[in-house]
Structure 1
Amino acid sequence: RHTSTPVLLINMLAGSQFSFRLATVAWRPVGIAVCHRSLCSVATSASVVYQDGLPRFRIPLPSRGKACQFTMKPLTNTVSDLTASIRNEDRGVEQIIFYTSDGLRIAGSDSIESLLRRDFDVQLNDQRFAVTVPESPVVTHESVDQLADLKAMISQLHSALNTPEYQLAKEKELMQQLQDLQLQLEPMEAIRGQLAEKASRRTRILTWLSLSYMGVQFGVLARLTWWEYSWDIMEPVTYFVGYGTAIACYAYYVLTKQEYTFPAVWDREYLKKFYKDADKSSFNVEQYNELRQRINDVQSDLRRLRDPLMLGLPLQQEKLMKPQPEQQ
């Protein structure tokens, strides 16, 4: 502990007796982390003062008989932080309790800001000290919220004053991007239309062939049942035909990992034909999908820019309102 040169104060008392009082002044450290400690003469009371906008608690430590100063941050520190700092300075403090002036115990989770809103008492072991809180120049949560509202209002005012020019420039930029993307997509769109028509035609042919096969199968079984043979002979045949169809559907699921439904089969056959013809004609499907996605994003930005209600939407809501692009 670094101290300045002690100053010896000599007072004359009755009976020619002298008492010596040793006053020391501690060096003030630089860079306060959680607690700032300042030794002074023997203290008999606790107090709170404000320095540099921060509250400083002057708490008398029972073991040392002297006061220690603790600097806390009102908005981030709690009563538990102050209690931990006191115990860290004086290991002899076994009990630290804060009370309101009405005698209610203050929880350790309360913030320092809440503690300093009214006078309070602090109990150290068996000693209890009343603390008078001075007028607070500290920024509170309410003032922080008011400051945030003021910033938002200034931002809205700035946006309102500069919105027309910005919107016109941004709309012009987006329109130019949209035209460039559409020019790149136009030749690919023509090729995609041809490939889609071929794939759709083949899928329709397969659909009609499947229907024709089912009709022929029904006619053959009916002929064998009522004209060639009897129902007693054809019943096992129809059973195995039905069971074989079920096996074929299950095999389709095992091989494709898709349920055998007519829309799923249609899409699968359509895409198989489309990608097969795309490889033959050197049509880049990934590039086409990327261009479609970019065009969709630009169109969504244009709608948002032209709609005053959508300008105030958060980003996640803006993404949800974008329609999904058409992809192959």
Structure 2
Amino acid sequence: MLTTVGDLLRDITAKDRGVHYAVLLNGDGQRISSCTFMETVLNKDFQLVINDVTHNVRSFGQGPSHEHVSGVDDVKYMVRLLHAALTLPQRQHAKHSELLMKQEELKEQLKPLETVKVQMAKDAHSKASMLGWVGLAYLSLQGGFLGYLTWYVFEWDTMEPVTYFITYTTSMIFFAYYMLTRQDFACPDVRDRQFLHFFYRSASSEV
């Protein structure tokens, strides 16, 4: 005689006194009649609700026909499906705990490298900032020197071609920067580029 839904639910409540409520739902969330054969239920995905916990059970496909399946085979087939569904949360929890432990181990192993990374980032940031200050100092000295030559040494008619060539050379430098980097000469981009340059150069020396 084939097992029915009612037989299964009675067995569950009889085996575990902690189960106060058990019901089977179909894929649409509708309750399955207790008179329904488990063979019919197992042909499609269904839900087993025990107390307040819902277990999703996936069917292995079209099951054996009613005419050729014995009660024992039906129970074995049902137990295999339910065992897979009921033990899946425990396996997932165990795997999750294992992955968390491995994550903590990797964090401990990476701590020294993180410390080195932070220090290299600080050094690279300092060097990039220093390079910016050096550029500002150079432009200030250049402007002061040209002003000195214009007002105290030479006349403007003499210095005008000099300033033209300086401006033209500076434009060539900016254009060369664009050709090499494919980026406009914007101060934030230049600073970030220099930071990465110093950082990777420091990282290469640590390897």
TM-score range normalised by the length of the shorter chain = 0.5 to 0.7
Q: Deviations over 1:149-204 (max 9, x none)?
A: 45788499425x97985775455334213202211211111121222222222212
Task: Tell me the distance in 1 between the aligned counterparts of 2:183 and 2:115.
Answer: 31
CA–CA separation in structure 2 for the residues paired with 1:201 and 1:155: 62
Please name the residue that 1:176 is paired with: 101
Does 2:55 align with 1:158? yes
2:172 maps to 1:247: yes
Deviation at 1:225, TM superposition (A): 2.0
Partners in 2 of 1:243 and 1:225 — Cα distance? 19
Of 168, 190, 198, the match for 1:265: 190
Mark the CA change 1:172 to 1:229 in structure 2 (over 3 Å): closer, same or farther: same
Task: Return the structure number with greater relative CO, CA threshold 8 A, min gap 6.
Answer: 2
**Rg: which structure is higher?**
1
> Contact conserved, 2:120 with 2:202, CA < 8 A, in 1?
yes
| Distance in 2 separating the partners of 1:270 and 1:202 | 7
| Structure 1 counterpart SS, 2:128 | helix
CA distance in 1, matches of 2:46, 2:192: 53
Q: Cα deviations across residues 126-146 of structure 1 (Å, max 9, x unaligned)?
A: xxxxxxxxxxxxxxxxxxxxx
**Counterpart pick for 1:200 among 122, 125, 135:** 125
Could you tell which deviates more after superposition, 207-216 or 267-276?
267-276
1:276 matched to 2:201: yes
8 A Cα contact 2:178 2:184, kept in partner: yes
Residue 191 of structure 1 is aligned with which of 112, 116, 119? 116
Match of 2:146 in 1: 221
Cα deviation for residue 254 of structure 1 reads 1.4
Q: State the AA in 2 paired with 1:222.
A: G
Residue type matched to 1:214 in 2? L
Distance across 2 between alignment mates of 1:260 and 1:155 = 65
Indicate how the Cα distance of structure 1 residues 152 and 210 shifts in structure 2: closer, same or farther if over 3 A, else same: farther
Q: Distance in 1 between matches of 2:94 and 2:129?
A: 49
- How far does residue 259 in structure 1 lie from its aligned partner after superposition? 2.2
Q: State the distance in 2 between where 1:152 and 1:247 align.
A: 72
Mind listing any 5+ residue stretches in structure 2 that lack a counterpart?
Answer: 1-25, 30-43, 57-84
Which amino acid in 2 is paired with 1:271? L
TM-score normalised to structure 1 length: 0.36
- Which letter does structure 1 place at the counterpart of 2:160? E
CA gap 1:148/1:260 in 2 versus in 1, 3 angstroms:
farther
Contact 2:27 2:47 in 1 (8 A): no
Segments of structure 1 that go 5 or more residues without pairing to the other structure are 1-146, 283-328
Cα distance in 1 for residues equivalent to 2:137 and 2:48: 69
Which residue number in structure 2 is paired with residue 127 of structure 1? none
Q: AA paired with 1:183?
A: E
Percent identical among aligned pairs is 39
Task: For 2:162 and 2:151, locate their aligned partners in 1 and report how far apart those are by CA, in whole Å.
Answer: 14
Distance in 1 of aligned mates of 2:112 and 2:93: 30
Specify the SS of the correspondent of 2:55: helix
